[in-house]
Chains A and B, each alone.
Chain A
Amino acid sequence: MSEQKKELVVVALENGTVIDHIPSDKLFKVVSILGLDKSEKQITIGNNLTSKKSGVKGIIKISDKYFKADEIDKIALVAPNAVLNIIKDYKVVEKQTIGLPEEIHDIIKCVNPKCITNNQPVPTRFEVVDKKNIVVKCHYCESMIGQNEIEIK
Chain B
Amino acid sequence: MNSKSLVSITDYSKDKILKILDAAADFEANPNRDLLKGKVVATLFFEPSTRTRLSFETAINRLGGRVIGFSDAANTSTSKGETLHDTIRMVSNYVDLIVMRHPLDGAARYASEVGSVPIINAGDGSNQHPTQTLLDLYSIKKTQGRLENLNIYMVGDLKYGRTVHSLLMAMSHFKPNFTFIAPDELKMPEQYKVFCDKNGIPYKEQRELVGIENADILYMTRVQRERFQDLLEYERVKNVYKLKNAMLDGTKDNLRVLHPLPRVNEIDVDVDSNPKAYYFDQARNGVFVRQAVICDSLGLI
Known: A114-B125, A142-B8. A119 touches B104 (CB 8 A): yes
Docked CA distance A139–B108 (Å): 11
B83, B85, B110, B191: the one within 8 Å of A140 (CB) = B110
The reply to whether A140 and B84 contact each other, CB–CB distance below 8 Å, is no
The reply to whether A141 and B106 contact each other, CB–CB distance below 8 Å, is yes
Query: How close is B77's CB to chain A, nearest CB, in angstroms?
Result: 14
Most buried by A among B84, B104, B109, B124: B104
Q: Per-residue CB proximity of A131-146 to B under 8 Å, as 1/0?
A: 0000000111111100
Q: Per-residue CB proximity of A84-101 to B under 8 Å, as 1/0?
A: 000000000000000000
Docked CA distance A28–B83 (Å): 32
Residues of A within 8 A of B104 (CB): 114-116, 119-120, 141
B126 proximal to A (CB < 8 A): yes
The reply to whether A139 and B105 contact each other, CB–CB distance below 8 Å, is no
Q: Residue of A at shortest CB range from B114?
A: A122
Known: A140-B110, A141-B127, A142-B127. A120 touches B191 (CB 8 A): no
Residues of B within 8 A of A147 (CB): none
Known: A115-B104, A120-B83. A140 touches B109 (CB 8 A): yes
A117 proximal to B (CB < 8 A): yes
The reply to whether B105 and A115 contact each other, CB–CB distance below 8 Å, is yes
Docked CA distance A114–B103 (Å): 8
A139, A142, A144: the one within 8 Å of B128 (CB) = A142
A42 proximal to B (CB < 8 A): no
Q: Residue of A at shortest CB range from B103?
A: A114
Docked CA distance A153–B109 (Å): 21
Residues of A within 8 A of B191 (CB): 144
A112, A116, A143: the one within 8 Å of B110 (CB) = A116
Q: Is the interface of A mostly helix, strand, loop or mixed?
A: loop
B188 proximal to A (CB < 8 A): no
The reply to whether B83 and A138 contact each other, CB–CB distance below 8 Å, is no
Known: A141-B125, A142-B128. A114 touches B83 (CB 8 A): no
Query: How close is B211's CB to chain A, nearest CB, in angstroms?
Result: 32
A121 proximal to B (CB < 8 A): yes
Within 8 A of A (CB), among B131-189: none
Docked CA distance A115–B103 (Å): 9
Residues of B within 8 A of A142 (CB): 8, 105-106, 127-128
Within 8 A of B (CB), among A52-111: none
The reply to whether B109 and A143 contact each other, CB–CB distance below 8 Å, is no
Q: Residue of B at shortest CB range from A143?
A: B105
B107 proximal to A (CB < 8 A): yes
The reply to whether B106 and A117 contact each other, CB–CB distance below 8 Å, is yes
Within 8 A of A (CB), among B1-54: 8
Query: How close is A114's CB to chain B, nearest CB, in angstroms?
Result: 5
Residues of B within 8 A of A144 (CB): 191
Residues of A within 8 A of B106 (CB): 115-117, 138-142
Residues of A within 8 A of B85 (CB): 120-122
Query: How close is B8's CB to chain A, nearest CB, in angstroms?
Result: 7
Residues of B within 8 A of A119 (CB): 104
Query: How close is A115's CB to chain B, nearest CB, in angstroms?
Result: 5
Residues of A within 8 A of B127 (CB): 141-142
Q: Per-residue CB proximity of B92-129 to A under 8 Å, as 1/0?
A: 00000000000111110110000000000000111110
The reply to whether B105 and A112 contact each other, CB–CB distance below 8 Å, is yes
Residues of B within 8 A of A140 (CB): 105-107, 109-110
Residues of B within 8 A of A143 (CB): 105
Residues of A within 8 A of B107 (CB): 116, 140
Docked CA distance A115–B109 (Å): 11
Known: A114-B104, A116-B104. A139 touches B83 (CB 8 A): no
12 further contact pairs, Cβ within 8 A, besides A116-B110, A138-B106, A144-B191: A116-B109, A116-B124, A117-B106, A119-B104, A120-B110, A139-B106, A139-B109, A140-B106, A140-B109, A141-B105, A141-B124, A142-B8
Residue contacts A-B, CB under 8 angstroms, 9 given: A114-B104, A115-B104, A115-B106, A116-B124, A120-B85, A140-B110, A141-B127, A142-B128, A143-B105
Rank and list the top 7 A-B pairs by shortest CB-CB distance, nearest first.
A140-B106, A141-B105, A141-B106, A116-B106, A116-B104, A116-B107, A114-B105
